[in-house]
Amino acid sequence: MARNLWIGAPGRLREIQQAAKSWERTAELGVAEFKALEGRVTTFAPTRTVRRVKLSFDALEPEDAQHLVRLARRVGTGRGPLVVLDPASVNLLDPYQAAGQSDVPGGWDHWFTMNGAVTLARDADQITTVDCQDAAVAVGWVHGTWPGWPVAPGMRVSWLLPAGWDPATAVAQLDWKAADGAYLSTTQATATTGVTGTAPAGAAFVTPVGRPGAVGLFGLAGACLTLGDAPVAHALGDGCPAMSVTAYTDVPATPLPYRNVSIDLVEVRGAAF
């Protein structure tokens, strides 16, 4: 399960078990160069790098091909952006989130807190830290588009808390949510820094949560959310961005009804039609 592509609208993901003939997942760096008269070069680059995914399948099963074509033509998928759970991704957290860094002052774009007095700050290395003034404090990780990270019922999800949290006191938990964001249930492990759970029936999203279980300062770098496989501390955050289809091809294959399908997607902030 962990090494197959999952794609679709939130709550309506489909697993594509056939391996793609070609697969490209390059991020656009957007770097512009300016060369001065004396020959020196200055570069300009955006903070965020947008990823484009290109997939191509030969002789794809008819049901899988129809699913991809429906997504491309926006038939029965709703108006929002799509989910692409990339089988090559090791860490589904946002790149900056996994590194404990924030795009905004205070760091509230990537995390939320519950239960007691909490302060988010940055250390000398610009890593976001949480100052827990209550041992009952819980820290939740925020997905930038949806109520959590998209999942499908039966999917195995593993969650590793940030590096340096005390396994003797920490609690790692996964909060499962329905398609409308309503809370369903929790899978948690006490006195450890990691937990693995199976998405229950009706689950469309999961929110990873950590409880340090002690008073003090805790860094938020090094966490990892992954599918199936054991999570890896400090793994690069590949993210789980919302995506939109920008192009596709659908060519009948031999023998029918198999089809050769290619699909191009781009990371988006939203998708309006």
For 233-263, write each residue's pLDDT tens digit: 999 999 899 999 999 999 998 888 999 999 9
- Integer CA distances (angstroms), 72 to 54, 66, 77, 258, in order: 13, 10, 9, 18
**At 272, is the pLDDT very low, low, confident or very high (cuts 50, 70, 90)?**
very low
Average pLDDT, integer, range 169-184: 96
For residue 273, the model assigns a pLDDT of 44
**At 55, is the pLDDT very low, low, confident or very high (cuts 50, 70, 90)?**
very high
The residue ranking higher by pLDDT, 183 or 87, is 183
- Type of residue numbered 255: P
* Side-chain-facing half-sphere of 256: CA atoms under 13 Å: 3
**At 40, is the pLDDT very low, low, confident or very high (cuts 50, 70, 90)?**
confident
- Which residue is associated with the tokens 């993210």? 239
pTM of the model: 0.90
The answer to whether residue 70 scores a pLDDT higher than 70 is yes
The answer to whether residue 85 scores a pLDDT higher than 60 is yes
- Residue 171: beta bridge partners? 190, 211
Rounded Cα distance between 179 and 206, Å, is: 10
Two tokens, residue 220: 């938020």
- Type of residue numbered 180: D
- Which residue is associated with the tokens 């760091």? 107
